[in-house]
Chain A
């Protein structure tokens, strides 16, 4: 597998740009897809956002200054695209903060590509009740196992603030699960 530095060097060379981009696509498409999917939950939305993300990467690769790693830069673009998408949806449907979670849960329940059991549905619903930032941090730490230092670069937030966000997210999920677990009684 081609390493990131090699991909970056090739992307800056017009004669190798297309091939290098194919390498980048093949290396990161799944990771970015799952990152986006956990934010927006719905497959179709995730697909649209992923395509826009890669188009942005292609168009912006010349301005990438390598101040952060390629992986961080890609995640940052994907995260921004996902958050922008969610904000646009909220604005279009005039959703207030309380309804926002319901909107995500509705999407989750109607998604034909959700294959989890009742416990996983409960966990996803609990995650959907979190504020955007806590949801992001929890997903990145719990599912993607991204280090706080890397997360700090992606989300442009201090490590301390990220740890606090994760801690609050875990507490809230725990409370949600405890109060709703009896309903599904595992």
Chain B
């Protein structure tokens, strides 16, 4: 269809000529260069294959040793960890006062201590009698003031 519906353009009637050139002796030396490249590539491949072949068993052994080490090490580390954890638990069954004191020091943190102190203070204030307070205050008051306080 495309060949028949079109009048051949002028440029297609011109004589065809390859305008490109190659360097001298290019095609004569091409084969050798290509074969040399292929040989080099094969040698590189063979070398890397040899290297892998050489390294592969060593890598296998190293991987096995690491695996064995991890497998052996895991229970040991677990046991060590549980021993250390047991050591660090405070002895709550201590009986002597020194042990009790030591236990309190190690198991009491700052906040607990402040709460304990402030809770003590609150109790002291609650223990004070209302009448005592009034009596204490009355020492600096005159009779009229005392009377008015009692009335209120």
Chain A contacts to B: CB under 8 angstroms: 21-22, 25-26, 29-30, 33-34, 37-38, 41, 43, 47, 50-51, 54-55, 58, 111, 113-117, 119-121, 123-124, 142-143, 163-164, 166-167, 170, 173-174, 177
Contacts and interface: CB of A to CB of B under 8 A. Distances in A.
Contact of B9 (A41, A51, A174): A174
B111 to A, nearest CB: 64
A25 B11 CA distance: 34
Contacts, number: 82
B37 to A, nearest CB: 6
B38 A163 contact: no
Nearest to A165: B2
List 8 tightest A-B contacts by C-beta distance, closest first. Answer: A116-B19, A167-B2, A120-B19, A174-B9, A113-B21, A115-B21, A163-B2, A54-B34
A121 B9 contact: no
Given A120-B17, A170-B12, A173-B11, A113 B22 contact: yes
B136 interface: no
Contacts of B1: 163
Nearest to A30: B27
B150 interface: no
Contact of A58 (B17, B21, B31, B38): B38
A142 B30 CA distance: 26
Given A26-B31, A29-B30, A163-B1, A115 B11 contact: no
B9 A170 contact: yes
Contacts of A29: 27, 30-31, 34
B38 A54 contact: yes
Interface string B21-34: 11100110011011
B21 A170 contact: no
Contact of A55 (B3, B19, B31, B37): B37
Nearest to B31: A25
B16 interface: yes
Given A51-B33, A55-B37, A123-B11, A143 B16 contact: yes
Nearest to A54: B34
A142 B12 CA distance: 9
Contact of A177 (B3, B11, B33): B11
B100 interface: no
